[in-house]
Amino acid sequence: DSGVTQTPKHLITATGQRVTLRCSPRSGDLSVYWYQQSLDQGLQFLIQYYNGEERAKGNILERFSAQQFPDLHSELNLSSLELGDSALYFCASSNRPGGSYNEQFFGPGTRLTVL
Amino acid sequence: GQQLNQSPQSMFIQEGEDVSMNCTSSSIFNTWLWYKQDPGEGPVLLIALYKAGELTSNGRLTAQFGITRKDSFLNISASIPSDVGIYFCAGQPGGYGGSQGNLIFGKGTKLSVKP
């Protein structure tokens, strides 16, 4: 158990809908990262928050957004869903904003299926 | 964008054999991490490397951070059935001065162990 929690475990929805994925980092960790894992693209970095502020942005679509709340939990919002958004979404946390010794610990993931 | 080339893509070995896999990049990384992922689970951190030339062990696992900072390898000695899974290398790009912590992942090495 990494100490990172994600809900829900599974999510099935229809095209055009909007969903929210939730992540609670390990106790004491200030950085939260979101990654998408699909069969063809592998694990891709989406976005990082550190202590409530956006820190880095990766291959995140404009239809996707995220935020980190004062209690440090984070939510990833996916809207206007398309079939191609079906994937595993992972949250990871670390106690540093970046640089050396920035070990990231992953949650169990949310499997999103768009029908 | 930056990419990691991980090889081999898959390995099918006999229990007790040693395993070696590696990752290379055209860019410099300041951190190399090795993860293992079981089906339906999140990646689990195995070994973290922070300095060029560093050699680190974790039980039967040994990993090294290449001198050029553009490669890393992972060795597993005396493999056992529970070593089955997908192993990922991940690098944190250098040059951000510690402000960003996103990881770039290899495509993974799928390890199968025959008893």
pLDDT tens, chain A, 115 aa long: 889 999 999 999 999 999 999 999 999 999 999 999 998 788 999 999 999 999 999 989 999 999 999 999 999 999 999 999 999 999 999 998 877 778 999 999 999 999 9
Cβ–Cβ of B101/A56 closer than 8 Å? yes
B98 with A99: CB under 8 angstroms?
A: yes
> Cβ contacts (< 8 Å) between A103 and chain B: which residues?
33, 45, 48
Q: Identify any residues that bridge with A42 across adjacent strands, giving them in sequence order.
A: A38
**B41/A104 Cβ within 8 A:** no
Minimal CA separation from A77 to chain B, in Å:
19
Is pLDDT above 70 for B99?
Answer: no
The pLDDT value recorded for residue A40 is 79
**Any residues with CB less than 8 A from the CB of B82 and at least 6 apart, and which?**
none
CB contact under 8 A, A100 and B100: no
